[in-house]
Amino acid sequence: MARYDIENVTCPSCGKVFPVKVYDRIDVRRDPKLKKKVIHGTMFAEHCPYCGEKIRMVYDAMYADPTYRITIALAATDEFYKQAVKEMEKENALRSAKDDIVRDYLNEATLRIVRDDMKLAEKVLIFDNDLDDRVIELLRLVHLTSQQATNPEVTDMLFNIGQTKDGHTQMCFLPLIGRDIVNTPIVLSNLNYSRTADKYYHALEEYKESDLEVNREWAEKFFAAIDAKNTDEPENREAAG
Ligand SMILES: [Zn+2]
């Protein structure tokens, strides 16, 4: 079973105390219903049994999906964050010391660190649909930048996969202010995704910065590295000069 403890929580609304399950390891192969809870945003939300108040409680946990070979640290606290960075960096260093054939044979899990439940839900959805979270992050930054040009109050975009009326799946970005969805979804076509994946395929293969945290900062650094490389190309320098 997934590992959990029972902790007593005090309702901030009515002050009554009730027990909740707090997981330190969310193993979704052993307990597949936990994956749905993570994706639907109910894993880290409890309803007070006395007054019905919805209480969001995000805590440190390791999400593991051995089937998809994914391990994600949900680091709610700085302490756990530092620990996760240290341990995952160590693991990645050990892996890069192995040769490619051994690495392919071992087929090790992708390691990621996120800081909140919304980002964890996104990662799980992305990997569950066989998508590359790095490509999604690049697309998000492009769409966020253009969205912010007309709506400066938009703070982020939530990646989601919905169903169309005819039953097809449809990727989209939902503009956010804080945790609230504002404006209509920005549809992301499969073609848009695959073109971006193809365009940056080699650059992503060659990019050596840490991919433990694939987020907006990661995407900004990646684009900056591409720009720097492009201005280094002699033909571009000549064109510029
Ligand atoms: Zn209550």
Which string of DSSP letters, residue by residue, matches 109-177? PEEEEESSHHHHHHHHHHHHTT--HHHHHHHHHHHHHHHHHH-TT--EEEEEEEE-TTS-EEEEEEEEE
How many angstroms separate the alpha carbon of residue 182 from the centre of ligand 1?
A: 29
How many angstroms separate the alpha carbon of residue 51 from the centre of ligand 1?
A: 4
Residues 122, 186 share a domain = no
Domain boundary among 101, 128, 155: 128
| Residue 104: predicted pLDDT | 72
How many angstroms separate the alpha carbon of residue 74 from the centre of ligand 1?
A: 26
Residues 176, 114 share a domain = no
Residues 141, 88 share a domain = no
Residues 137, 122 share a domain = no
Distance, in Å, from the CA atom of 41 to the CA atom of 62, rounded to the nearest integer, reads 16
Residues 9, 120 share a domain = yes
Distance, in Å, from the CA atom of 104 to the CA atom of 133, rounded to the nearest integer, reads 20
How many angstroms separate the alpha carbon of residue 19 from the centre of ligand 1?
A: 12
Residues 137, 73 share a domain = no
**For each of the chain's 241 residues, which pLDDT tens digit applies?**
568 999 999 999 999 999 999 999 999 999 999 999 999 999 999 999 999 999 999 999 999 999 889 999 999 999 999 999 999 999 988 888 877 777 777 778 899 999 999 999 999 999 999 999 999 999 999 999 999 999 999 999 999 998 888 888 899 999 999 889 987 899 999 999 999 999 999 999 999 889 999 999 999 999 999 999 888 765 544 444 3
Domain count, the chain: 2
Domain residue limits at 189:
133-240
Domain boundary among 70, 95, 128: 128
